[in-house]
Amino acid sequence: MEDKAIQTVKVGICGLGTVGSGVLKILSSNADIIASRAMKIEVARVAEKDFARAKDLLDRAGLSSVPISVDWHELVNDENIDIIVEVIGGVKVAKDIITAALQAGKSVVTANKDLMAACGGEMLHLAEENHTDLFFEASVAGGIPVIQAVKESLSGNRILQVMGIVNGTTNYILSNMAEKGSSFKAALKEAQELGYAEADPTNDVEGYDAARKIAILASIVFNSRVNDSMVATEGITNISSWDIAYAKEFGYVIKMVGIARCDDQSIEVRVHPLMISKDHPLASVRDSYNAVFVEGDAVEKTMFYGRGAGSLPTGSAIVGDIINAARNINHNCKSRWGCTCYKNLPIKPLAETISKYFVRLNVCDRPGVFAAITNILSEESVSMATVMQKRRTGGGEAEIVLITHLTPHAAIEKAISRIVDLDCVFAATSIIRVEDNEE
Amino acid sequence: MEDKAIQTVKVGICGLGTVGSGVLKILSSNADIIASRAMKIEVARVAEKDFARAKDLLDRAGLSSVPISVDWHELVNDENIDIIVEVIGGVKVAKDIITAALQAGKSVVTANKDLMAACGGEMLHLAEENHTDLFFEASVAGGIPVIQAVKESLSGNRILQVMGIVNGTTNYILSNMAEKGSSFKAALKEAQELGYAEADPTNDVEGYDAARKIAILASIVFNSRVNDSMVATEGITNISSWDIAYAKEFGYVIKMVGIARCDDQSIEVRVHPLMISKDHPLASVRDSYNAVFVEGDAVEKTMFYGRGAGSLPTGSAIVGDIINAARNINHNCKSRWGCTCYKNLPIKPLAETISKYFVRLNVCDRPGVFAAITNILSEESVSMATVMQKRRTGGGEAEIVLITHLTPHAAIEKAISRIVDLDCVFAATSIIRVEDNEE
């Protein structure tokens, strides 16, 4: 036991918002077990614009003596601080803080998915140049320890794919629609009332938030930098109760997933709604929970499940990183894991990606429509797995629902654009990818 | 990038059985990505009693030049070897190998649950004394990286409970019974034919294998050594198709779980069949998959899912540990994490543990039986949540099924023993714990 816990490691926390206050609470209430398991972690200083809020939070955490700075420079310039925790969010100021902290040789822990998805490579290289650590477990899927899992535990694997439910808001909305029969609008409203969705829900419901997380994961597992701007996104605003009902009938559940795959030549990475088999491990991830499904050539199928957001769950990931960083400081082995992007793979164009598709068409209720549609699909080499002429919707209209076999995105797009040009077809109401060869 | 991958780390593998051959295969086929992500890992020597088998496996892995020793001492005494991988299993020889390797200052990676559950504390302290590493990710839940998760990522949490489906054989049997309506005997036979169960299935079906894994997990999360001999076990051999049918009717699924809980005064740790709500994340873990559900005060509910056994999945965990150990060697920070058992908590006696219980009674089909039973339950302060006088089973017999509220184990045992003493009661056919306050 002689070489353990010889040093108190000092932490400066930038930002005492939702996540920062969670970090403070955990470091304070679990100080005893953290000290016994690893070493004493001391909050040396906090930076927070809202001084009164900071004072109140520190008092409530029993940390009244911790000095408060309104200016983050005071933390980065404090020679006594070993680790800077950046939890202010956003890109610009956060990048300034992290850059300055790394350049000062401090270890950095961040929850900042926006920054890591936009300039993770730059930040990680800066950490390496300064022989220090940059940890970002909390940037993906909140409290779920998936970054360490894919970066360390699974590092003997060639990773085949990652599929993640990495946005709790949209999972809450889709679960609500599936279980209570709510409309998208009603489910969104409920999510807003519960604080799961923001007043402007664009980032969540259009898949931009999930794109950042899948970009970070893809960069790690495929060892090639993927920024969020490279991720094709499609949101869930068009998912209707009918889609959910059909999904159920076919044995599927609709989830919004981030998908990343690699064939060693290029990376596929995108966010969209997906019909997955009800027996897939992701299918039973309900409510606002997150889960990341990872398939490797050795480990086979794994999944990591938990809270993707929230003050304490995200704080848990931050504190885990702080302890990890503190151990590296204590054992003089900072920069033990740096950036692992040693390849530079291109992103596969969306048009070339292959999927099964669920298609719902609003058509004229008359003979010959079906033949016209199947002719086009055949000409575009889109092969059908299932077809249902489901229901007469009244007023001379009907609905045709079909599921294709595996088809390039370009082919389905072309086929659908030709189909909706038919006089007898009013609209393609839904086009949703389907994944069902998983168990 | 200047301080990365400066050294080739040399590994000696003791045992080329199922797991050892998986390790060999991964180190060989993924040598390129492992070298690029971390550093070059070289298999320097293997020890295997069956020389011909070792020769064949090395040839097939493209590692024909690797020397084979029949005696493991040659690996432990080889000064060029940095890391010893112990995958021979069993306690006696494995303990000798690990002891000698640690005393020689080598890092050790093991998959040995029997050894770690029986003398994990001793082995980890020996590693500390010798300033080296002992990693054992593969000893629990095969490829699932749950040890690193609970030991590192979640180390800021006070862990409230761990519930694990950590035996693939019994999960396969119970899934088969639930989904195909098989009897226990038929499902066991199928598991044996598929190679999931051994000819003598005692270790699996009686819960002894699961006990080792939950002992290892409990030691880590509660920072107090739990050996497998402290774990109360109850197997699944008495689970019948009727139990499974009733479970379904009540909205439950029957799983064999290892449970560990801690109230800071004592540790509850046991293995037994459990009826869990069909909405609990563990309920959808089917087939031979494993999953470990971990609840912490900050992270809330998490779950880790994947393959709990098999050559490559278990090999994945071993190789992850090898890379971790190699990084520590390379960065001169061995013994970065040692044993974290700093408490010495007692095990709570089974009699004092509290649970809901499902009870199935075979009784006389006549008036007054019900009153006699409920009187005893009331006298023993066992409160009922649900009662169903389910079915007349013929020949003047009937079956009563009930579910209790939370009850101390001692109370249910006493009540049942009094109930089966009644003239009008033939037997208590099933007594199964129930867990339903999870979402």
Is the separation of the CB atoms in A403 and A358 below 8 Å?
yes
- Measured between CB atoms, does A50 come within 8 Å of chain B? no
Q: For residue range B81-134, what is the model confidence (pLDDT) as tens digits?
A: 999 999 999 999 999 999 999 999 999 999 999 999 999 999 999 999 999 999
Is the separation of the CB atoms in B330 and B250 below 8 Å?
no
B3 has a pLDDT exceeding 60? no
Is the separation of the CB atoms in B174 and B255 below 8 Å?
yes
Cβ of A155 within 8 Å of Cβ of B323? The answer is: yes
Range name among A188-192, A375-379, B125-129, B388-392 with the lowest pLDDT average: B388-392
B1 has a pLDDT exceeding 50? no
Q: For residue range B300-314, what is the model confidence (pLDDT) as tens digits?
A: 999 999 999 999 999
Q: Reading across the β-sheet that carries A107-110, which strands appear in turn? A: A68-69, A41-47, A9-14, A83-86, A107-110, A134-135
Q: For residue range A267-313, what is the model confidence (pLDDT) as tens digits?
A: 999 999 999 999 999 999 999 999 999 999 999 999 999 999 999 99
Interface of A with B in 80-119 (CB under 8 A): none
Range name among A202-211, A362-371, B107-116, B170-179 with the lowest pLDDT average: A362-371
A31 has a pLDDT exceeding 70? yes
Of A222, A197, A227, the residue nearest A212 (C-alpha): A227
At residue A387, the pLDDT reads 84
Phi and psi based region of residue B414 (left: phi greater than 0; alpha: psi -120 to 50; beta: remaining) = alpha
At residue B5, the pLDDT reads 44
Is A213 catalytic? The answer is yes
3 state DSSP class of B391: strand
B2 has a pLDDT exceeding 50? no
CB crowding A410-430: b at 16 or more within 10 Å, else e: ebbbbbbebbeebebbeebbb
B65 has a pLDDT exceeding 70? yes
DSSP for residue A155: T
- Measured between CB atoms, does A160 come within 8 Å of chain B? no
CATH 3.40.250.10 fits A350-435, yes or no: no
- Measured between CB atoms, does A277 come within 8 Å of chain B? no
Rg of chain A taking only CA atoms, in angstroms: 24
A438 has a pLDDT exceeding 60? no
What letter represents residue A212's amino acid? R
Average pLDDT over residues B212-220: 98
Can you give the residue ranges of every domain in chain B? 9-143+311-330, 146-307, 350-435
Question: CB under 8 Å to A53, separation ≥6 — which residues?
Answer: A16
Q: For residue range B320-365, what is the model confidence (pLDDT) as tens digits?
A: 999 999 999 999 999 988 898 999 999 999 999 999 999 999 999 9
Local confidence band at B6 (pLDDT 50, 70, 90 cut-offs)? low
Of A146, A329, A12, the residue nearest B154 (C-alpha): A146
Name B252's bridge partners. B277
Is the separation of the CB atoms in A340 and B37 below 8 Å?
yes
Q: Give the start-end residues of each E strand in B212-353.
A: 232-233, 252-262, 267-277, 289-296, 300-307
Q: For residue range B391-402, what is the model confidence (pLDDT) as tens digits?
A: 788 889 999 999
d(CA A90, CA A282): 29
3 state DSSP class of A362: strand
Of A53, A73, A18, A81, the residue nearest A322 (C-alpha): A81
CA distance A91 to chain B (A): 25
Residue B330 phi/psi, 5° resolution?
Answer: -65, -35
Local confidence band at A3 (pLDDT 50, 70, 90 cut-offs)? very low
Catalytic residue among A10, A25, A213, A255: A213
Local confidence band at A439 (pLDDT 50, 70, 90 cut-offs)? very low
Can you list the alpha helix ranges (DSSP code H) found in A30-84?
31-37, 51-60, 73-76
| Residue keyed to tokens 């020679």 | A79
d(CA A49, CA A72): 9
At residue B278, the pLDDT reads 94
Interface of B with A in 24-43 (CB under 8 A): 26-27, 29-30, 33-34, 36-38
Q: Counting one residue from A and one from B, how many pairs have CB atoms under 8 Å apart?
A: 227
A390 has a pLDDT exceeding 80? no
Residue A177 phi/psi, 5° resolution?
Answer: -60, -40
Q: Which residues of A touch B32 (CB under 8 A)?
A: none
Out of A137, A284, A337, the one facing B284 most closely (by C-beta) is A284
Q: Would you say the CATH fold of B350-435 matches that of B9-143+311-330? A: no
For the question of whether the overall pTM of this predicted structure is more than 0.90, the answer is: yes
d(CA A76, CA A214): 30
d(CA B197, CA B184): 13
- The CATH number of domain B9-143+311-330, selected from 3.30.1540.20, 3.40.50.720, 3.30.9.30, 3.10.580.10: 3.40.50.720
What letter represents residue A165's amino acid? I
- The CATH number of domain A146-307, selected from 3.30.70.580, 3.40.50.10860, 3.30.360.10, 3.10.110.10: 3.30.360.10
At residue A1, the pLDDT reads 35
Q: For residue range B154-165, what is the model confidence (pLDDT) as tens digits?
A: 999 999 999 999
**CA B109 to each of CA A310, A355, B228, B436: distance values in angstroms, whole numbers, following the listed order:** 36, 41, 20, 38
B433: buried, middle or exposed (CB in 10 Å: 19+, 13-18, 0-12)?
buried
At residue B439, the pLDDT reads 35
Is the separation of the CB atoms in A340 and A218 below 8 Å?
no
Of A260, A265, A253, the residue nearest A210 (C-alpha): A260
Average pLDDT over residues B166-193: 96
Instruction: Please tell me which residue of chain B has the smallest CA distance to A302.
Output: B306
| Residue keyed to tokens 């873990």 | B285
Out of B284, B306, B327, the one facing A336 most closely (by C-beta) is B327
Name B164's bridge partners. B258, B292
Average pLDDT over residues A171-184: 96
Number of helices (H), then strands (E), belonging to chain A: the values are 15, 17
B261: buried, middle or exposed (CB in 10 Å: 19+, 13-18, 0-12)?
buried
Of B92, B91, B137, the residue nearest B110 (C-alpha): B137
Q: Give the start-end residues of each E strand in A266-383.
A: 267-277, 289-296, 300-307, 354-364
Is the separation of the CB atoms in B227 and B411 below 8 Å?
no
What letter represents residue B31's amino acid? A
Which of A155, A286, A337 should one mutate to test binding to chain B, selecting the residue with the greatest count of B CBs within 10 A? A155
Joined together, the tokens standing for residue A317 give: 């990931």
Q: For residue range B217-269, what is the model confidence (pLDDT) as tens digits?
A: 999 999 999 999 999 999 999 999 999 999 999 999 999 999 999 998 999 99
